[in-house]
Amino acid sequence: MFLPRPRCYMTSKTPSNESDLRDDLIALVRKLACAEPTLHDMYDTHLVENTEILPTIVIEEFARRFVAIYESSVTDTTAETRRSAHESVVKIASALEATLSVDNASWRDYIKTLFLENLWHAGDFYGPIKQLLGPLARRALIE
């Protein structure tokens, strides 16, 4: 089965109607999926299982996976896995920061409400994860 790969170069302005909003959110999901291979794989799996991209669900899944990757970067028994996981966390945090800097209010709102606000799943790791986020993401957490 052919899977359309996310187009990583997409940017967007704030949408003006509901149809544009859905397309815009799919563009956001694609942008985040391009940040790290694990997220890209999740995008592909979601597309196969649902035959379409459901943006709110995927962004929440990305947040939970980000937490799991961070935990692996701290707790895994092998140094190579910890290093690889840390690199993935940095890539995702950088993608969040870049996305928050785009002139698109809906992207910022969805990153805040679907991704950042789901970081509470991190439990004891919430503080250290918050420190890895860029200034725009940390600011969005307290707005």
pLDDT band, very low/low/confident/very high, at 17 (cuts 50, 70, 90): low
Contacts of residues 94-100 at CB distance under 8 Å and 24 or more positions apart, as own/partner, are 94/35, 94/134, 95/31, 95/32, 95/34, 95/35, 95/36, 96/32, 96/133, 96/134, 96/137, 97/133, 97/134, 97/135, 97/136, 97/137, 99/28, 99/31, 99/32, 100/134, 100/136, 100/137, 100/140
What is the average pLDDT value for the chain, to the nearest integer? 87
Question: Which residues neighbour 9 within 8 Å (Cβ) at sequence distance 6 or greater?
Answer: none
Could you tell me what percent of the chain has a pLDDT over 90? 73
SS3 12: coil
pLDDT tens-digit readout, 43-68: 999 999 999 899 999 999 999 999 99
Q: Please report the pLDDT score of residue 130 as a whole number.
A: 94
Whole-number pLDDT of residue 36: 93
66-77 pLDDT, tens per residue? 999 999 999 999
Is 123 a residue whose pLDDT tops 60?
Answer: yes
The full set of domain ranges for the chain reads 18-142
